[in-house]
C-alpha cells in the first residue's frame, strides 16, 4: 500500500493504483474502412486482440469536435450544477462511483440511453440540466457512430460467411436495442507524484458486456489493453480515429473466435482526458448463443444460452474486473 499525505489520501480514497508500464504498443491493427482488405484485417484483429483502430471511417470530424466541446463545457461546470444531472439511475451524471458494487475511479461521466423512445429531444427530462445543443450533438454523433458500427458488423459477417449479412447489425438497429452512450471525463491529477511512481486508475480493468464498443477520445493518452498473455500495453491516442472493442456478447456469438478485450484507463497528471463510447447492445430479450451459421460440423458451443437481460442482471452483481462470462461457460 502506498502511503500519501492525508489530503491526497482523502481525494483518492478507495481508488486503485497500479505499477507504471512503459509499453507503448505500436502494433495495434489499423484498418482503413475504405480498404478492400478491411474485412480480412478486421476479423484478424478481432481474433488476436479483440481491438483495432479504425481510420477513414466516414464520421465527420465536426461531429466529434462539437460534442467534445459541449461535453467539456458541462464537465467544467461547478460541481453542484453537475450534480443536478445525477445521480445515475442508471442514466445521468456520476462521479467516481462506477456501478453498484463498490468500484470507483478517477472519473466523472454522463450515461445516456440510445433507445429511440428515450433518446430524443423529447426525452430531455431523463437527464435534467442538459442543454438543447448538447442533446442535439449527442444525437447526431450517436446516429453516425451507430451506422458505422453496423457497417463494421456487416463486414465481419461477410468475412466469416455468416448469413444473412445483417444478422449482427440488426441487433443494433432494432428499435428495442439496449445500446447506450457514455461520456467519460478524467480530470487532470496533479497530485500523482504523491503516489510515489504508481499510476492512478481512472477506470478499472474490465471487458464490455455488449456486442461492440466504439471509442473516441481526445489526444490525452491513458487507454491500456491487455494482450493474450496478460501484459498491459498503452494505446497511443488519436483524436481523429475510432478504437473498436469486441464485447462479451460478440465473443459468445462467434463461439470464442473473437476475444472480448480487457482494458482500463489511467489518470494523467496534467491533462484532461475525455472519451466518448457507444456500446452497441441487443434487445433485452435477444438470446445470446453461438450463431449456427458459424459453427463447424461437430463443433460444440462453449457457452450456455442466455438472454441479454440475463447477462445484464448477472453483470450488475459483479465487480468491474470479474470474469462475467465465466458464469455462462460450459
Active site residues: 273
Q: What cell does 323 get?
A: 470474469
Classify burial at 249, counting beta carbons within 10 Å of its beta carbon; exposed 0-12, middle 13-18, buried 19 or more.
buried
Compute the distance between CA of residue 250 and CA of residue 256 in angstroms, rounded to an integer: 8
Q: Please name every residue paired with 42 in a beta bridge, in sequence order, or none if there are none.
A: none
DSSP 271-284: --EEEEEEEE--BT
Neighbours of 306 (CB within 10 A): 20
Torsion angle, alpha carbons of 211, 216, 222, 224, to 10:
30
CB atoms within 10 A of CB 58: 11
Please give the C-alpha separations between residue 211 and each of 44, 177, 283, in angstroms, as whole numbers: 17, 11, 11
Whether 256 and 44 have beta carbons less than 8 Å apart is answered as no
Distance CA 191, CA 187 (A): 12
- The span from the CA of 266 to the CA of 288, in Å, is 32
At 51 the three-state DSSP class reads: strand
Amino acid at each position: 500500500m502506498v502511503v500519501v499525505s492525508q489530503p491526497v489520501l482523502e481525494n483518492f480514497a478507495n481508488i486503485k493504483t497500479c505499477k507504471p508500464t512503459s509499453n507503448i504498443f505500436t502494433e495495434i491493427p489499423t484498418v482503413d474502412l475504405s480498404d478492400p482488405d478491411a474485412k480480412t484485417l478486421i476479423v484478424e484483429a478481432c481474433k488476436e486482440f479483440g481491438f483495432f483502430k479504425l481510420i477513414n471511417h466516414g464520421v465527420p470530424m465536426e461531429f466529434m469536435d462539437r460534442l467534445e466541446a459541449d461535453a467539456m463545457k458541462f464537465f467544467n461546470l461547478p460541481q453542484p450544477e453537475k450534480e443536478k444531472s445525477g445521480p445515475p439511475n442508471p442514466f445521468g451524471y456520476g462521479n467516481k462511483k462506477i456501478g453498484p458494487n463498490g468500484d470507483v475511479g478517477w472519473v466523472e461521466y454522463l450515461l445516456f440511453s440510445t433507445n429511440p423512445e428515450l433518446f430524443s429531444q423529447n426525452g430531455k427530462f431523463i437527464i435534467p440540466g442538459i442543454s438543447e445543443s448538447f442533446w442535439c450533438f449527442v444525437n447526431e454523433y450517436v446516429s453516425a457512430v451507430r451506422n458505422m458500427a453496423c457497417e463494421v458488423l456487416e463486414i465481419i459477417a461477410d468475412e466469416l460467411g455468416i448469413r444473412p449479412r445483417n444478422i449482427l447489425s440488426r441487433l443494433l438497429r432494432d428499435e428495442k436495442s439496449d445500446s447506450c452512450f457514455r461520456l467519460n471525463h478524467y480530470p487532470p491529477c496533479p497530485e500523482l507524484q504523491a503516489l510515489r511512481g504508481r499510476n492512478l486508475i481512472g477506470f478499472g480493468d474490465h471487458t464490455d458486456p455488449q456486442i461492440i464498443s466504439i471509442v473516441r477520445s481526445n489526444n490525452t493518452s491513458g487507454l491500456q489493453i491487455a494482450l493474450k498473455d496478460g501484459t498491459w500495453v498503452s494505446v497511443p491516442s488519436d483524436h481523429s480515429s475510432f478504437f473498436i472493442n469486441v464485447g462479451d456478447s460478440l465473443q459468445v456469438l462467434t463461439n470464442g473466435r473473437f476475444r472480448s478485450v480487457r482494458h482500463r484507463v489511467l489518470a494523467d497528471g496534467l491533462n484532461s482526458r475525455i472519451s466518448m463510447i457507444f456500446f452497441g447492445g441487443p434487445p433485452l430479450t435477444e438470446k445470446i448463443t453461438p450463431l449456427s451459421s458459424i459453427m463447424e460440423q461437430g463443433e460444440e458451443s462453449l457457452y450456455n444460452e442466455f438472454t441479454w437481460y440475463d447477462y445484464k442482471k448477472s453483470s450488475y452483481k459483479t465487480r468491474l474486473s470479474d470474469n462475467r462470462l465465466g458464469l455462462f461457460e460450459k
